[in-house]
């Protein structure tokens, strides 16, 4: 299941355009985070996708949505991808994301505010970040245009994922890996800011790897042995 999440939309018209784009690609689960008032313009711009807006879900924050819906994999979108020294915003293209995607659980594709996008705090809640390459003269896309590009990349691979006989690692299994790595990082005595960055980098790697349950189990066993050796020393 794919949820399309729009964080703090400022105009009802853009909500309508997003709903219309969703229906173009067979998506129906719209989530609005602390939205503006839903007016007639939203339904007018949605055209034949009015039911997408009618059946929407609303939450006060992105974190509330992720926790309450039990989301397995969260994909953030940003127009400002980071380089090597801006870890939270290291991004993949929509094509790279779709090529690697084989998650079978609940997936959330998150779009930010029309003006400011997603905050770094919201980006940190995401397992992977997607950014669309654009021309430097006018790099920011309208919400529905950005959504159409991401949805297209997902839609064209619809019949080839999830991969048969590949059991994706669950949220619990992935969180277990993160906990093991955090214990190791703590024992290494890094300064606090380096510990946070190391933890975030590992989370990003796990997110982009789309690992199977078996792979998670094997990696967790290895991390536990490392942790045990550090304790013994």
What pLDDT, on the 0 to 100 scale, is given for residue 38?
A: 93
Kindly report whether the global pTM for this prediction surpasses the value 0.85.
Answer: no
What pLDDT, on the 0 to 100 scale, is given for residue 122?
A: 94
Enumerate the β-bridge partners of residue 160: none
Percent of the chain with pLDDT over 90: 56
- Which residue bears the tokens 């066993």? 221
What pLDDT, on the 0 to 100 scale, is given for residue 81?
A: 61
Q: Do 230 and 184 form a contact (C-beta atoms < 8 A)? A: yes
Q: What is the mean pLDDT of the chain?
A: 87
pLDDT at residue 89 above 60? Answer: no
What pLDDT, on the 0 to 100 scale, is given for residue 138?
A: 84
pLDDT at residue 163 above 90? Answer: no
Q: Where along the chain do its domains lie?
A: 2-160, 171-232
Q: How confident is the model at residue 207 (pLDDT cuts 50, 70, 90)?
A: confident
Percent of the chain with pLDDT over 70: 91
pLDDT tens column, 101-128: 776 789 999 999 988 889 989 999 998 8
pLDDT at residue 80 above 80? Answer: no
pLDDT tens column, 130-162: 998 888 888 778 999 999 999 999 888 765 544
CATH code of the region 2-160 = 3.40.1280.10
pLDDT at residue 62 above 60? Answer: yes
Q: What is the mean pLDDT of residues 11-36?
A: 96
- Which residue bears the tokens 């890996």? 177
State the DSSP code for 61.
-
What pLDDT, on the 0 to 100 scale, is given for residue 28?
A: 96
Backbone angles phi, psi at 174, to 5 degrees: -70, -40
| Residues 52, 55: Cα–Cα separation, whole Å | 5
Measured CA to CA in angstroms, residue 28 lies from 9, 89, 217 at distances of 18, 28, 34
């Amino acid at each position: 299941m794919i949820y399309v999440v729009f964080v703090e939309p400022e105009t009802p018209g853009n909500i309508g355009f997003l709903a219309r784009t969703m229906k173009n690609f067979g998506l129906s689960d719209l989530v609005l985070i602390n939205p503006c008032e839903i007016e007639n313009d939203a339904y007018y711009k949605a055209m034949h996708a009015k039911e997408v807006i009618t059946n929407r879900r609303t939450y006060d924050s992105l974190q509330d949505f992720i926790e309450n819906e039990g989301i397995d994999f969260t994909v953030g979108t940003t127009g400002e991808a980071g380089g090597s020294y801006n870890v939270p915003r290291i991004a993949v293209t929509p094509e790279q994301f779709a090529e690697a995607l084989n998650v079978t659980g609940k997936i959330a594709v998150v779009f930010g505010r029309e003006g400011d996008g997603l905050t770094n705090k919201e980006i940190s809640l995401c397992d992977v970040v997607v950014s669309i390459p654009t021309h430097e003269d006018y790099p920011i896309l309208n919400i529905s245009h950005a959504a159409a590009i991401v949805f297209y990349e997902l839609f064209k691979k619809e019949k080839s994922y999830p991969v048969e006989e590949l059991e994706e690692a669950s949220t619990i299994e992935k969180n277990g890996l993160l906990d093991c790595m955090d214990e190791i990082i703590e024992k290494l005595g890094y300064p606090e800011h380096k510990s946070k960055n190391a933890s975030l980098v590992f989370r990003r790697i796990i997110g982009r790897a789309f690992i199977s349950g078996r792979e998670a189990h094997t990696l967790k066993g290895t991390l536990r042995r490392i942790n045990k050796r550090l304790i013994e020393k």
